[in-house]
């Protein structure tokens, strides 16, 4: 039976996707911008036409919600498909706010595409990945990518768009893991809860497009100071929206705040480093290559584990 293996790297948003304008098609309420990062990756092998329909994630059968997302994407790629066996491994913590769903879904569509012998464009694959997990549509591309708001009702124009390749700007993303366990509230549930109950949600949606416009310009100009400020603004506005929901949603832990203070302190000492936080307690710090060792050593004082990531390539068959 045809089998293919794909690798995809997670992407970390510098301007966040948080909120859906269509929950069925998984269309975003805001545009977003991200950096695909290596060496964190998902490695996925897919048998197209296996004896059983089975999805394995990190040596265990996928939980109900992940199973549903994988099945949905495979059914969309080919409604008349045969049974598939999917075996996927992450070389970094899963569902801990480290974007494992972005790399997982991107690797899935690339493996399914190769194993099934389909002939689709990367944009089409990105749109399929989006239906499994929104942020995954950006991991089809290496380096910097954007997920524009799009305007088509059917979501046909809702896919990742490459902005600049990995070699455009040699920066580092230092991950301070303050807790590695899985999060209690998924991003999907968190953003639905915000849209339904947070009085700040409308303001969040209204502010996001300007952040993406300015963020894209800062990336193209390799302006770390501006990008860092925009990234922190987008991060804090997204988390303010979560904290304003009812009951409140807060992904932060004590170590999250300690890492934020550490980054602010390093800046006071002249380093150019900026933080971002997703739907989990871990903190990612964007900095120049020359500052990475100092940033890493200081974050080790507040984090259980620190990893240094670099701009990485897009999803691919191996």
What residues line the site for ligand DP6 (CB under 6 A)?
A: 13, 16-18, 26, 32, 99, 101, 133-135, 187-188, 278-279
- Kindly report the length of the chain: 318
DSSP 9-62: --EEEEE----EEETTTTEESS-EEEEEEES--EEEEEEES-SS-EEEETTEEP
Q: Closest CB to ligand DP6 among 171 and 208?
A: 208
Distance from the Cα of residue 56 to its chain's centroid: 21
CB of 96 to ligand DP6, least distance (A): 11
- The DSSP secondary-structure symbol of 182 reads P
Q: Closest CB to ligand DP6 among 4 and 309?
A: 309
Nearest to 192, CA basis, from 249, 256, 257? 249
Cβ neighbours of 249 (radius 10 Å): 21
Nearest residue to ligand DP6, by Cβ distance, number only: 134
Query: Are 102 and 143 contacting, i.e. CB atoms less than 8 angstroms apart?
Result: no
Alpha carbon distance 245, 170 (integer Å): 38
Q: Closest CB to ligand DP6 among 45 and 133?
A: 133
CB of 188 to ligand DP6, least distance (A): 3
Q: Closest CB to ligand DP6 among 45 and 158?
A: 158
CB of 59 to ligand DP6, least distance (A): 22
CB of 270 to ligand DP6, least distance (A): 30
Q: Helix (H, G, I), strand (E, B), or coil: what is residue 88? A: strand
CB of 139 to ligand DP6, least distance (A): 10
Q: Closest CB to ligand DP6 among 26 and 116?
A: 26
């Amino acid at each position: 039976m045809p089998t293919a293996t794909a690798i995809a790297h997670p992407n970390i948003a510098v301007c966040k996707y948080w909120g859906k304008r269509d929950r069925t098609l998984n269309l975003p309420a805001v545009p977003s911008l991200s950096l695909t990062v290596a060496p964190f990756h998902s490695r996925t092998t897919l048998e197209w036409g296996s004896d059983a329909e089975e999805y394995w994630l990190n040596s265990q059968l996928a939980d109900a919600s992940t199973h549903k997302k994988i099945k949905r994407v495979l059914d969309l790629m080919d409604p008349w498909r045969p049974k598939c066996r999917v075996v996927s491994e992450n070389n970094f913590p899963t569902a801990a706010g480290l974007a494992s769903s972005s790399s997982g879904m991107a690797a899935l569509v690339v493996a399914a595409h190769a194993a099934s012998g389909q002939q689709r464009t990367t944009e089409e694959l990105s749109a399929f990945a989006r239906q499994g997990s929104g942020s995954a549509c950006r991991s089809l591309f290496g380096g910097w990518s954007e997920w524009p708001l799009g305007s088509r009702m059917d979501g046909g124009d809702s896919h990742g768009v490459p902005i600049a390749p990995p070699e455009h700007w040699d920066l580092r993303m230092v991950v301070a893991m303050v807790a590695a366990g899985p999060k209690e509230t998924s991003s999907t549930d968190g953003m639905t809860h915000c849209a339904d109950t947070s009085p700040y949600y409308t303001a969040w949606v209204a502010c996001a497009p300007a952040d993406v416009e300015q963020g894209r310009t800062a990336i193209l100009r390799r302006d770390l100071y501006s990008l860092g400020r925009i990234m922190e603004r987008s991060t804090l506005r997204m988390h303010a929206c979560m904290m304003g929901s009812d009951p409140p949603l807060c992904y932060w832990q004590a170590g999250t705040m300690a890492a934020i203070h550490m980054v602010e302190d390093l800046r006071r000492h002249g380093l150019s480093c900026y933080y971002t936080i997703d739907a989990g307690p871990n903190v990612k710090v964007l900095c120049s290559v020359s500052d990475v060792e100092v940033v890493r050593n200081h974050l080790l004082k507040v984090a259980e584990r620190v990893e240094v990531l670099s701009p990485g390539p897009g999803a691919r068959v191996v």
